[in-house]
Every structure is written in C-alpha cells, then in structure tokens.
Structure 1
Amino acid sequence: MSSRNKILKVQKLLKEKKLDFWLIVTSELKDIHSPWILGTKCHTRHAVVIPSDGSPSVMIAEMEAPMVKKAKIFKENEVYTYESPDDFINFLKEKLTEKGDSPRIAINYVDDLYKGGEETINYLLHGDFLELTKIVPKANFVSAQEILYTLRAVKDDDEIKLHKKAAEITIKAVKHAIEHIKPGVTEAEIAAEADYIMKKYGAEPGFDTIVAAGPNSADPHHNTSNYRIEKESLIIIDLGAKYKFHTADMTWTVYLGDNPSEKIKHMYSVVKEAHDKAIEAVRPGIEAWEIDKTARDYIYANGYSAKEFMHSTGHPIGIHVHDVGPAFTEKEKSKRALIKLEPGMIMTVEPGVYIQKIGGVRIEDDVLVTKDGHEVLTKTPEELIKL
C-alpha cells in the first residue's frame, strides 16, 4: 500500500476509534514508522501529525524538508519547517488543539509491553512524552497499537512484492558470502561480503548480519567478530536485506570441511525436518503456538530439550525484522502465541539446536500465509552444504 493510502487508512481507523490524531515525534531514526510514512529517512527531530480528517502535516528541520517533498507523499503545503525549538513546540500546540483543548491522541507505545510484546510499536521516548504533556496538558494519550497492528500485520500485494524482492536480494547475498568462506577468514569479513551484495542490489542490511563460526554458532545471537573460521566447523549466517523499508530474514547453516561428525549431521537433519514440518503446518486459522509446537515436539522427540532449543520457532516480519503479529512460541509465554494466522501475514520459521563447545544449527525461511495455505519466499538448502 502506498504511504498516502496508509494515511487514508489511518484516518479511517482514527474515526472508528473516536481518536483525533495519530502522532509520531522522533529523531535519529528511532521510530521506524517515520520513514515508512514519509518515504525517506530523516535524522533531525520531526513530527508527523495525521488527523482523523483533513490534511496530514510534517514539521521538520529546513535541511531535511526537501527530502520529504521529493518523496511526494506529503504535499508541498503539508510540510512545515522550524528554525528554533519554539517553532517546533508552537506547531505541535497549534495542530494538536485544532479539535479542542482535550484531544485524544494515539502515540507509539504499547500497553502491557512485558507480557504482550510488540516492541516494534514501542518507540516514543519518555522525554518526548513529557514534552507532549506540557504542550497539550489536557490531551488524552492512548496507544497506537491497534492502529499499527491493522496497518502492519497483514501485507497487501504491493508489500508482498517488496518482501519478495528483499528475499531475492538476501539469497544473492548469502550465496555470495559462502563463496568466500575458507580457513583463516574472519566472521566479520564474511558478513561484509553479504552486506556488500545487499547494498549493490539496492537494499541495505535490515539488521546486523550474524556470522557465527565454530563454537560461536552455539550462541543464537552471537555478535559477529574477528574470530577466524577454522576447518571442520559449523557456520551460521543469519541475514536479511531491507528493500524499500521491507525486511527479509533468512538463516543458512553450512559446514567448512568434508567430515562433519555424526552429532553435527544429526543436529542438522533434526532441525531441517522440524523446519519443514513447521512450514507444512502454516495455514490460515491456525493459532501461532501450534506451529511452534510442531517444530518443538519433533526436536524434543529426537533427543534435544529446551536447553538446546531455547528460542521461539518464528516471528512476523515486515518493515521491521520482528514485526507486529503472531509469535511462533509456546502459548504460555506470550499472548501473541494465541493469535490466528491470516492470509497476507509473513512469518519466519527458524528452529534451531545449539550445543556449547560444539556449535549450533539454525535454518530459517520467510513464509507467506496464503488463502489456501502458504508460500515459502526464501529457500534454504535441502542438505547441509559442505564447503
């Protein structure tokens, strides 16, 4: 959906919920909704005000106003600039009180954050909130969570096309990266090769590329380092290209050498089968926890436990690597595990097994929920690649 159509949809939702405004106030790329709506990244402090009816508006520093105008989502007369903090404050006061002194304003935070999750909505900083309470002291501020869930959880055809392009670039990047794996090369060098390809094809890394080699592969969120890759070791590569604000997420596990141990071969085969079974279960109407249970039951039945598989089976993906929507996790661990899948949702499926001092295996694909079942948007290898 175009950003202008997003604005129209937001206005419809605001009216339904009897809200007066959706407000984004941010700086230094702290809120992903700003570039998603504006069509460009802005670093200076700025505000996006979308009323329930009438024209939206942006207040931004003079140096970045031309970028917003060039994106052609906001009209020329909807883009305002400021020279001083007072200009910014007065703009907010004027816009946010157009409907009266006690407006109902949706802002980007989450109710029940620790139990419900949805961190990728929770972007308004406390300092900004305190300023807003001074600027509009009688305002009733509410969470924009429901509005953003409606906007982001289910992707339309245009967004699915962008995700497919991001996935295509991600596959190019990982294939290029593994060509450079050899003894003595560092994890950081392999990550750089992947990042280069993403940028070469018009994208950027959607998150820090993970290259975890040898014993480091036993840590699911290993920080890519200058560790030198050794012969006869597992290497996990977790990466995702962000293309026009849409992020893919894929993980390959490869082996440098000719003789993986029986333990490593067993780890890979179990994870791959769990991955395949979980994907096969993806369809509309199923609750998210059931996908996790499909993968988890298979892994546990084949000799592993929660100690070796300590993360969820997958998550929604979209404009953020961890998007809003269902979570493929155990149902007692998150309310999001109870959400039913709908056509248009894009989820990762990424079971793993990790054993300290030996290594880890994670296999991850992006999966689109379709009307009749699912479509795999990325494709990991059927067998363990030996380099």
Structure 2
Amino acid sequence: MYQMEFTPQRLERVHRSMDHEGVEAIIVTRRSDVQYLTGYESPQEYIPTGCLVVKNENPRLIVSELQRELLVAESVMGKVLTFQDETTERWYSTYTPEFWKRIVQTIRDSGVEKSMIGLQHDWLTIDEFDLLKNALPGAGFKDYSPALYRLRQVKDHSEIDTIRRAISVAEIGIRTALEIVTAGKTESEASLEIEAAMRGAGGQRRGIRAAVLTGSHARYPFAQPGPQRIEEEDLVIIDITVSHLGYFAEIARTVHAATPSKEQSAAFKGILDLTSRFEEILVSGTSVKEIGKAIYDEFQKKGPDWNLYKPYGNSIGLDLIEPPFLMPDSEGTLREGMVLSMTPICADPEQGAVKISDMYLITENGPENLTNLTRETM
C-alpha cells in the first residue's frame, strides 16, 4: 500500500517558522494540520486529536487510548502520547480536560511552560483557552494558524506525488462522466455512477464527490446534485473532488446535453479562453492580487455578459480550499511548490453555468498543468 513519505526537510521548515514567529512550542488541534505535522489522518473530524511540537524536537502526536490501538506506527512521524477517554455534556465534541492535561504535562516536561506558545485560535473554544491559561500562568500565547497556512502552501515532493495520485482518480471520474452524462438522466443518477467508478479506481470514500449539475444552481461552489432530469437544452457542469491519503484534487468540465445556444457557446469560449491565460500569469513571484485582477479584466474584455464568480482559484492540499484565494482584493504571492486549483465559473440565470477547473503546480519554469484532460468538451 502506498504511504506518504515524510521528509526531514518538512520538520526543519516548521522549526524555522517557529523561530521566525518567536514561539518555543506549538499546540495544533486542527485535524488537517495534525496530519501535516505527524502523518496521522484522524478517521473523524470530531475525534480529539492533537499535536505538540517543541522547537528542535520531533512532533508528539496526542490521541486517546482507544485511538492508539488503531494507529499504524510506521505511518506516524514522532512520538505518540495518549490520554484517557472522557466525554461529558460540557466537553462533548471538544477537546476534553484529559487531553489538555496531557498537553500541559508534556509542555512542563519539556521545560517550556514559561515560554511563548503558538495556538490555533480559530480551532479553540473559550473554555479550552481559559483552561490553558490557568494551567500555564507563566506562558504567553499567540495565534500560529497563519504561519501554518503559509508553511502548507508550499508542498514537498511527497505531497505533490500524493496529489498527482488523487488527480489520476479524478480524471477517471471526468472520463466516466463524458461517457454517461446524457439527457434524461437525473443529476443524482449520473453523479452516483461517476462516484462508483472512482471508488473502483481507488478513491477514498470520505473524499469522493461527483456533482453533475444543471441550471442556475450549478454556479454555487457546493451545490448538490438533485432529482431534476438533464434536459437537452442544458449546460451540464461535472465537478469532481477526490481525496488520496487526505490530499485533495478537484477537476471540473462543462458539457452540453445536445446543441448549445449561441449564448451558451460564447460563455464556454469565454471560460476556455480564460483558462488558456493561466499558463502565462501563474508565475512564481507574482502577487495574488495581480493575478486576480488579470483574470477579471480578461473576462470583462473578452468574455460574455455573464457573471464571473469569485474566487477564481485557491491553494489546495489537505483542505479542498486553502488560502490564498485568487481575487483582485487578496493578499499574498505565488511561490514555487504551491499547488493551485483554478476554478473559473460564469453563469446566467436563464442559460445556466460554465466551469472549467484544473490544478497547477508552480515551478521555477512556470506553471505545470497537473491535469491531463482536454478542456474542449463542447
């Protein structure tokens, strides 16, 4: 079975980041960040799982005693510590006092109980923060979430290889869709057929989503396929998401159930032409704001009189949607090693929606399109 390879360079980057942020330890409680630092993919979002990293030391994965029995030691980077399972009404679905006791004791054992400690403020309840402050009165605390996002934006070779594997399954979903999406089927029927094909190709059930969408609701990012039948006048968006070892891939194509109208053809060409510009503008060192403005201006100049929806793309990895978001008002700069999901979509209330999504790796020689599928699907 293929397993993620964790390189020493990733941990070195984490320690350099901690130095830069002025923290001696970080407490990580967000599931995808725990996986990034330790390799452990928690089976459920609500299961308390954490990670403690002390500067210049290996990570410590902290799980309940019940979870410990399910771990495969070879897949975890760092030492595994456990806490007693405890669920009460007050702490249900949060990180229990027993979890935090284990965190606090490990911090004391490491001698950093009076140091600056990085937390994830967006993944911490008020009760949990109060518990920490009371248990470590000599410590200082700062939000480390933005620094972790910056670290995760640049993928190492093992992450990129895992994303490529996810893309290969997503491509099977698109190829299946191009064969089976026809007028008369419902959105749900077609979507289930595609998902079955991807599961058969090795896609993880938890991360698979095939959405065959028609009409005006197809423009929404997380629209769900419904019982409505595909009509001959419909534009049909095929939106595929796949997860492999926790890493996401997203590909979308647009087809027509029969013969597109003049307006629908113009909209498709507008998005198609826009995607051809990505190879020119997705360059390392370019500001995200500049890219967002270039995409907007290009569509306004050459595209149809349809609404172009933001964001036009985003980083992708252990989360389907990660910052930076490619919009005219975003901050940040493209860097080598980033993987972007470019998802331009335009829509008209009467004519439907058009979306073409591909994934790009930012390299020193320009963007590499990781998707090996034609965009000419109409």
Q: CA deviation at 1:239?
A: 1.7
Correspondences of 1:223-302 after superposition (within 5 Å): 223-257=224-258, 259-302=259-302
**Any gaps of 5 or more consecutive residues in structure 2?**
87-95
Amino acid at match of 2:120: N
The alpha-carbon deviation at position 364 of structure 1 amounts to 1.2
Shift of 1:152: 0.9
Q: Which residue of structure 2 lines up, in the alignment, with residue 82 of structure 1?
A: 84
Deviations 1:212-243 (A, max 9, x none): 11343344542322222222211112222111
CA displacement, residues 43-81 of structure 1 (integer Å, 9 cap, x when unaligned): 432332111134532332222102334344246x63324
Q: Which amino acid aligns with 2:65?
A: E
Once residues 347 and 74 of structure 1 are traced to their aligned partners in structure 2, the CA distance between those partners, rounded to angstroms, is 26
Q: Look up the SS of the partner of 1:210 in the other structure.
A: strand
Structure 2 counterpart of 1:312, one-letter code:
P
Q: Which residue of 2 aligns with 1:25?
A: 29
Q: Greater CA deviation, 272-281 or 41-50?
A: 41-50
Change (3 A) 1:215 1:40: closer
Change (3 A) 1:126 1:238: farther
Residue number among 68, 78, 84 corresponding to 1:65 in the alignment:
68
Q: Is the 8 A contact 1:10 1:147 kept in 2?
A: no
In 2, are the aligned partners of 1:268 and 1:384 still within 8 Å (CA)? no
Structure 1 residue 156 displacement after superposition: 1.7
Structure 2 residue corresponding to 1:53, chosen from 49, 52, 56: 56
Contact 1:40 1:68 in 2 (8 A): no
Tell me the distance in 1 between the aligned counterparts of 2:250 and 2:142.
32
In structure 2, the CA distance between the partners of 1:64 and 1:24, relative to structure 1 (3 Å rule), is same
**Over residues 117-155 of structure 1, what are the superposed CA-to-partner deviations in whole Å (9 max), with x where a residue is unaligned?**
xxxxx4334443343334334432212235313431111
8 A contact 1:210–1:224 mirrored in 2: yes
2:114 corresponds to: 102
Q: Tell me if the contact between 2:6 and 2:77 (Cα under 8 Å) persists in the aligned partners.
A: no
TM-score, structure 2 as length reference: 0.85
Change (3 A) 1:13 1:276: same
Contact 2:216 2:347 in 1 (8 A): no
The CA distance in 1 between the partners of 2:219 and 2:100, in whole Å, is: 50
TM-score w.r.t. the length of structure 1 is: 0.83
Distance 1:286 1:79 in 2: 43
Q: 1:132 to 1:203 in 2, by over 3 A?
A: farther
Q: 1:316 to 1:95 in 2, by over 3 A?
A: same
The Cα of 1:172 is off from its aligned counterpart by 0.6
Matched, 1:92 2:103: yes
Q: Distance in 2 between matches of 1:247 and 1:289?
A: 24
CA contact (8 A) 1:166 1:242 kept: yes
Alignment-mate amino acid for residue 311 of structure 2: S
Give the letter for the 1:18 counterpart: G
Deviations 1:310-350 (A, max 9, x none): 212211111111123x33211xx22x2xx222221111222
The 1:319–1:341 alpha-carbon spacing in structure 2 relative to 1, beyond 3 Å, is: same
Is the CA contact 1:212–1:236 (under 8 Å) kept in the aligned structure 2? Answer: yes
Tell me if the contact between 2:29 and 2:123 (Cα under 8 Å) persists in the aligned partners: no
1:121-270 alignment, distance < 5 Å? 122-204=122-204, 206=207, 208-257=209-258, 259-270=259-270
2:92 paired residue number: none
SS in 2 for 1:286: coil
Percent identity at matched positions? 21
> Aligned equivalents of 2:7 and 2:140: distance in 1?
26
1:34 touches 1:48 (CA, 8 Å); kept in 2?
yes
Partner of 1:112: none
Counterparts of 1:133 and 1:42, CA distance in 2: 30
Letter in 1 for 2:163: H
C-alpha contact (below 8 Å) 1:219/1:360 kept by paired residues: no
Give me the whole-angstrom Cα distance separating, in 1, the residues matched to 2:131 and 2:43: 20
Aligned residue pair count: 360
Mapped to 2, the partners of 1:10 and 1:178 lie a distance apart of: 43
Which residue does the alignment assign to 1:114? Answer: none
Alignment of 1:7-18 (within 5 A): 7-18=11-22
1:97 to 1:139, Cα distance in 2 relative to 1, 3 A: same
State whether residues 178 and 190 of structure 1, in contact with CA within 8 Å, keep that contact through their aligned partners in structure 2. Answer: no
Paired with 2:130 and 2:180, the residues of 1 have a C-alpha distance of 50
Render the CA deviation track for 1:63-109: whole Å, top value 9, x for unaligned.
2102334344246x633242445643432221123325433211223
